[in-house]
Structure 1
């Protein structure tokens, strides 16, 4: 058994009220602080407040204390124990200190997992939270945190895996691709905040020509003498779904696909997961998106002004 106490802090050249207002938006739809989509979003079962339950990725906790604008404490859900806490401390009219404290008593495998993996991911996420606060509150960032090769590997290993779903009702292009369908499957991932919702951004999941486009859907595919296949990429209701439909034409096609369909699910999941992560890591940070929206709002207001 060991007790871990992990502390990060940063001085921000902005008023405590400004920084506190950013923390109050944690887990909201327009959260400007938590580093999504490079990491799983922080989400709760209700608006931010004492008693709200949720977390980010596999880390589960509830809001144990909340003083708007100055303090947020998250208590880890059983069987874990301990807490992590964000505080804002005024240092003068235009400066403040943001501190993140994690304290936890760890046992056995939990202590080993922290020492080998979670500590490195945790430290990076916290520093990225500070980066976003600094970006938005001051309008600039002195030096962004850099991922080590180990953190990049951990991020890759911890990335969400697609889940199998029924062929979506709104995947109309896939549903009407063939008169007769001999094989169908569909794999789905959540679209994290900031990720593109235009299906054209997802076309590189597969290196096949586009056959058709529809409402939130792109259909790719290829015809051959022994079988035809179509792959549908549907972006709908906060998820991206990769669906495959196949029709065979003769015994050669049926024999060929009897072999291919054994490895197809592995390949489909891998291609969707790889594209999902690539798009997430190429998406601007939450802080950068917030700055862009603020600049756009300012420009629109100036244009509308008499």
Structure 2
């Protein structure tokens, strides 16, 4: 077994108390540090604290030690750990350190140098960028994603799942008196992603007329489509926030976006045409939604930018450097 020890540290020109308060919000609904939506969010089965179980993406761990405002340590199921720690340097500055120690066996000994190391380094450095941005409003030397990391990010991006036509897709549900085909594909909507359905209009290649729009405070539905002699189709882009539970708290994180399609054919020729199209339609619908989802995530403000803008709206986002 080979043991890997990896350390990343950043000096932050802000008091340790201020930075520690940001660390305490890690994995929460308003997490100002983890690099969402470009990378999967850190989530646990309960608020941050000893015993909380979860992880980010395919990486699983549980909180084994937590000192509010100072340190949090996560243990992996097969041994090893990673941890964040805030150390005061003086009254106006501190040091944030992330340490990973993990033993690698078998295939993991190859996975670490080939892929995991590069992903891990980028994610941790982006966390430190967010610490610096959220605490000071700027980042002196932001990390840049290498072409290889961008490729890995693309390959690991979430794939849409098939769902029934959502109840909230009212425009799609009432588009036609009779529907000959319907399907829907859905992806989670992490914090930072656009909630305005119009921002997702580019999910469809080509210019399709807008057929309707229903907006709410936290999302809504946009209906696009076209009528032809052989068939009519409508594509619904539905953006939903997390559902409210019986206690008024939200269920889930971030929300979801759903691309739905409904089709009405007019005659035998239209039915024959769509019998051929429907074989490739699911592949194209999934690809279009996934591509647009990733494009909007990469263009979204970082967690640190969102935090700084929320605390100091008149200051704007400040200097931004895109990798």
Q: TM-score w.r.t. structure 1 length?
A: 0.94
2:12 corresponds to = 12
1:248 corresponds to = 265
The separation in 2 between residues aligned to 1:245 and 1:76, in whole angstroms, is 45
The separation in 2 between residues aligned to 1:251 and 1:242, in whole angstroms, is 27
- Give the 3-state SS of the residue equivalent to 1:69 in structure 2: coil
The separation in 1 between residues aligned to 2:87 and 2:108, in whole angstroms, is 32
The separation in 1 between residues aligned to 2:274 and 2:111, in whole angstroms, is 42
Match of 1:194 among 186, 192, 195: 192
Match of 1:118 among 116, 140, 158: 116
Tell whether 2:163 aligns with 1:165.
yes
2:33 corresponds to = 33
Match of 1:224 among 223, 228, 232: 228
- Give the 3-state SS of the residue equivalent to 1:29 in structure 2: coil
- Identify if the C-alpha distance between structure 1 residues 124 and 65 changes in structure 2 by more than 3 Å, giving closer, same or farther: same
1:83 corresponds to = 81
1:55 corresponds to = 55
For residues 225-275 of structure 1, give each alpha carbon's deviation from its aligned partner in whole angstroms, at most 9, with x where no partner exists. 111111000111311000001111112111111111111111000000111
The separation in 2 between residues aligned to 1:225 and 1:2, in whole angstroms, is 66
The separation in 1 between residues aligned to 2:315 and 2:263, in whole angstroms, is 51
The separation in 2 between residues aligned to 1:45 and 1:197, in whole angstroms, is 25
For residues 127-170 of structure 1, give each alpha carbon's deviation from its aligned partner in whole angstroms, at most 9, with x where no partner exists. 01111111122222111100100010011111111111010011
The separation in 2 between residues aligned to 1:241 and 1:139, in whole angstroms, is 34
- Identify if the C-alpha distance between structure 1 residues 297 and 53 changes in structure 2 by more than 3 Å, giving closer, same or farther: farther
- Give the 3-state SS of the residue equivalent to 1:48 in structure 2: coil
Higher helix share: 1
Match of 2:128 among 116, 119, 130: 130
RMSD: 1.4
2:280 corresponds to = 263
1:109 corresponds to = 107
1:289 corresponds to = 306
Is the 2:309–2:315 contact (alpha carbons within 8 Å) kept by the matching residues of 1?
no
4+ runs of 1 displaced by more than 2 Å?
A: 296-299
- Give the 3-state SS of the residue equivalent to 1:108 in structure 2: coil
The separation in 2 between residues aligned to 1:211 and 1:144, in whole angstroms, is 43
- Give the 3-state SS of the residue equivalent to 1:99 in structure 2: strand
The separation in 1 between residues aligned to 2:134 and 2:239, in whole angstroms, is 30
What are structure 2's unaligned runs of at least 5 residues?
A: 242-254, 317-323
The separation in 1 between residues aligned to 2:176 and 2:303, in whole angstroms, is 42
Tell whether 2:23 aligns with 1:23.
yes
